[in-house]
Amino acid sequence: MAAAGKPVQDDPKAPCRLYLITPPVFETKAFSEVLKAALGAGDVACVQLRLKDVTDDHIMRTADALMPLAQRAGAAFILNDRPDLAQALGADGVHVGQDDMPYAEARRLVGPDAIVGVTCHDSRHLAMEAGEAGADYVAFGAFFPTATKDAKSRAPLELVSWWSEMMTVPQVAIGGITTANCTPLVSAGADFLAVSAGVWQHAEGPAAAVAAFNRIFDDIARQ
Ligand SMILES: Cc1ncc(COP(=O)(O)OP(=O)(O)O)c(N)n1
Ligand SMILES: Cc1nc(C(=O)O)sc1CCOP(=O)(O)O
Ligand SMILES: [Mg+2]
C-alpha cells in the first residue's frame, strides 16, 4: 500500500506486505520508540491506529504523534473505525467494519483519494459487495485464535486462495497471525498480513518480528 495513496498490489506477483495494527493499549511516548524501531527493521505497508473506548481527543493526540513516524517510513497511516477523524487528521485512510458504517458513508467522509478498507469476516459475499462498491482492500479473518479481539468469525485458508485467483481487489488477512503460522497465508496469495500481537509480543521484539515477516515474504516471492 503506498503512503498517501491507493494500495498498489494489483501486480499478482507482488510480494505480500506487512500491515501493522497498534496494540490495544499503550503509552504514546514509549510506543513511539517501539514503532520507530519496528518501522526501521523492514518494509511496512500500513500502520493502523486502533484504539477502543478512548476519547476523540486521545485518538487525535495519539495520531498526531504516530502518523509522522509511519509516513516518514513510507507506510500509509490508517485510522480504525472513524472516517470523520481520519479526514480531520489528514490520515491516509480508514478501516471500517460491518458494524461501523457502510463503505459508501466512509468514502463520502474521507473523499475519493483516501484508502478505505472494509472488514469482510469470512464472507465472499461481503467482500464482493465491498470490492464492487470501491473498497481499496477487503479484510478477511480471523485466521487464527487471537486475544486482541473477540473475533466474530474464523476464516479458512481457501478463502485467501479463492479471492487471489478470482479477484483483483487487494486482500488483507488478519487475526492471530505470527511469523510461525503465516507461511500458508502468504503462499495462498494474501496481499497484506495485518498483525498486532504477532509483532508487539514477538519473543525477540517487534523489530525482529518485522524483519522476520519480511524474510518470509521475500522467500515466498522468490519461489
Ligand atoms: C485490517 C483490519 N481488518 C479487520 C479489522 C477489524 O475491524 P472491525 O470488524 O470493525 O473490528 P474492530 O477492529 O473495529 O474492533 C481491522 N480493524 N483492521
Ligand atoms: C482487529 C482484528 N480484527 C479481526 C477480524 O477477524 O476481523 S482479528 C483482529 C485482531 C488482530 O490482532 P492480532 O494480530 O493480535 O490477532
Ligand atoms: Mg471497527
Q: Is cis: bond before 142, omega within 30 of 0?
A: yes
Model confidence pLDDT, tens digit, residues 72-115: 999 999 999 999 999 999 999 999 999 999 999 999 999 999 99
Cβ(145)–Cβ(195) below 8 Å:
no
Is 191 a pocket residue for ligand 1 (Cβ < 6 Å)? no
Q: Which long-range contacts (CB under 8 A, 24 or more apart) does 8-11 make?
A: 9/137, 9/170, 9/191, 9/192, 10/168, 10/170
**Domain extents in the chain:** 17-222
pLDDT on residue 14: 86
Residue 4 has pLDDT above 60, yes or no: no
Specify the CATH superfamily of domain 17-222. Answer: Aldolase class I (3.20.20.70)
What is the tens place of the pLDDT at every residue in 125-161? 999 999 999 999 999 999 999 999 999 899 999 999 9
| CA 199 – ligand 3 centroid, Å | 20
Ligand with an atom nearest the CA of residue 149 = 2
Write the ipTM: 0.99
Mean pLDDT rounded to a whole number for the chain: 95
pTM of the model: 0.96
Kindly give the distance from the C-alpha atom of residue 81 to the centroid of ligand 3, in angstroms, as a whole number. Answer: 4
- Give one word for 67, left, alpha or beta, with left for phi > 0 and alpha for psi -120 to 50: alpha
pLDDT, tens digit, 9 for 90 and up, residues 61-73: 999 999 999 999 9
Ligand nearest to the CA of 76: 1
